[in-house]
Structure 1
Amino acid sequence: MTDQPVTDTGVRDAIARLRVEVAALHAELPANDLVVWTAGNVSARVPGADLLVIKPSGVRYDELTPEAMVVCDFDGQLVQGERAPSSDTAAHAYVYRHLPEVGGVVHTHSTYATAWAARREPIPCVLTMMADEFGGDIPVGPFAVIGDDSIGRGLVETLAGTRSRAVLMANHGPFTVGPTAKAAVKSAVMCEEVARTVHIARQLGEPTPIEPALIDSLHDRYQNVYGQR
C-alpha cells in the first residue's frame, strides 16, 4: 500500500469527495453499455494539487468502491491506494499536465465509437446533437501504445485542432474530456450515441453534413444558453 500524506486540508477533503464521485461515475460506463469486463476508466483532477483520482487496473466494476479508487500524481505515479492504477493513468496524467482547463478524462471501448476508431475515420457532423456537444466532427487521433504517455500526447495534439471533447484514438477507442469528470462521462455517452446513429444513417445512404455556420450557432447555443444557469 502507498499512502503519502496530504497535508492540505482542502486537498484531503477534495480527494475524499472525488473518490466517491469517481466511483459512482464508473458505474455509469457499464450502465450505458460503454465497457465490458474491466475495460475503460474515469479520472478526475484534484483541485489545488497536481493529483488525479482514477480506478485501479483490472478491477471489476462491481468492486469499484470509493475506497478502491487510487490517487496519482501528474507523472502517473501512485500516491495513495492499495492497488496499481489503471494502465491508462499516464495518458490521463499527460492531459491534466498540459490542459489545465480539463477536470475529467474518460476512456471507453464502446462498440460503435471504437468501430469508427478501427477504421481511423472521423465521425462527420451530420446531427444537431454532434454540433451541440462536440462543435463539429469527432476527430481521429494517432495510433499510440498503451502504458506510457504516448496516448496522452496524441490526445493533446488532436484536441488542439478541434472543439470536440471526444477523440477516437486510432485502432483503440474513444477518449473524452470535460471541465469535470461528470461532463467527460456525459461526452462519452453522447459520443457512442452519435457514433451508432451516424453508422445506421450510412446504411441507408450518405448523411448530409450540417453547414459550418449552423454548427457554430448550434454549439454556441448549447454551450452558453441551453439548460439551467
Structure 2
Amino acid sequence: MTDEIQRTREVVARLHAELPRWGLVVWTAGNVSQRVAGTDLFVIKPSGVTYDELTPEAMVVCDLDGDLVDGTRAPSSDTAAHAYVYRHMPEVGGVVHTHSTYATAWAARAEPVPCVLTMMADEFGGDIPIGPFALIGDDSIGRGIVETLRGSRSPAVLMRNHGPFTIGRDAKAAVKAAVMVEEVARTVHISRQLGEPLPIPAEQIDSLYARYQNVYGQTAQSQGDEARANEEEHA
C-alpha cells in the first residue's frame, strides 16, 4: 500500500502542473485528485499551496469521508466534494476542479454548452450540463456533481456560479476533460459572437461519440477486429 500511495502522490503532483500549463487556474485555485488503487483512499492537493510548491511529498491522503489520513497540511477545500464523488461513483478514479475562464463564464450564466462541435460529441457525448448551486464546505457540491453526471455521458459538469468539475477513470482522464471543456467553452462562445451555432443531430453525436470512445487511438489490429465484429453483428 505504501508504494501505491507514493506512486499516486507522484501522479497527482505531476498532473497539477498541467492546470497552469493549459491556463485553467490562477494562484492556488483548482485541484486534482486520484484514488489509490486497491484502497478506500485518495490523494489530493493541500489547501492554499501554490502550484510550484506541489511536490509529491506535499500531497495529502484522505479516506472516502474526506478525512485526512496522511499529510502535513489541511486538504483542499474541495475535498468533501471529491470524496462524495468517489463514494457514490465507484467507476470514477480521478476528479478535477478548475475555474477556467470560459467554462466558468458559462457556469455563471447557468447555461449548458450546446453540442455544436464534433470535438464535443467525441469527448462529452452531447451538451456539457449545468449542476446546481452549492456552497463550499460540505458535500453539497459533490451531491450536485453526482446527481448531474450519474447516467450522463459527459465527464464534465459546470456547477452554477462556481465552475467546472470533471471526472475520469483516472486523474489523467479527468485533467484531459478539464482541458477540453475550457477549449470548447471558448470556441462556442466565439462562435456565438458570429451568429447562432448549428447543433449536431443526435444520431450524429451518437456516431461520433462511439467512434472516438471505441475506435480512435486503437491499433490497426484492434480496429480491424472491431470492424469484423460489427459486420458479423449486422450480417
TM-score (norm 1): 0.95
Which residue is equivalent to 2:122? 132
1:108 and 2:127 matched: no
1:39-77 per-residue CA deviation (whole Å, 9 max, x = no partner) reads: 000000111111100000000000000000000001100
Runs of 4+ residues deviating >4 angstroms: none
1:210 and 2:200 matched: yes
- Aligned-residue offset at 1:12: 1.7
Give the 3-state SS of the residue equivalent to 2:17 in structure 1. Answer: helix
In 2, the alpha carbon distance for the partners of 1:17 and 1:113 equals 31
- The 5 A counterparts of 1:131-210 are 131-210=121-200
In 1, the alpha carbon distance for the partners of 2:20 and 2:127 equals 25
TM-score (norm 2): 0.92
Counterpart residue type for residue 7 of structure 2: R
1:55 and 2:45 matched: yes
Counterpart residue type for residue 93 of structure 2: G
1:32 and 2:30 matched: no
Which residue is equivalent to 2:56? 66
Which residue is equivalent to 1:98? 88
Q: Which structure 2 residue ranges, 5 or more long, are not aligned?
A: 220-235
Counterpart residue type for residue 217 of structure 1: S
Which residue is equivalent to 1:5? none
1:142-200 per-residue CA deviation (whole Å, 9 max, x = no partner) reads: 00000110000000000024210000000000000000100000000000000000000
- Aligned-residue offset at 1:228: 3.2
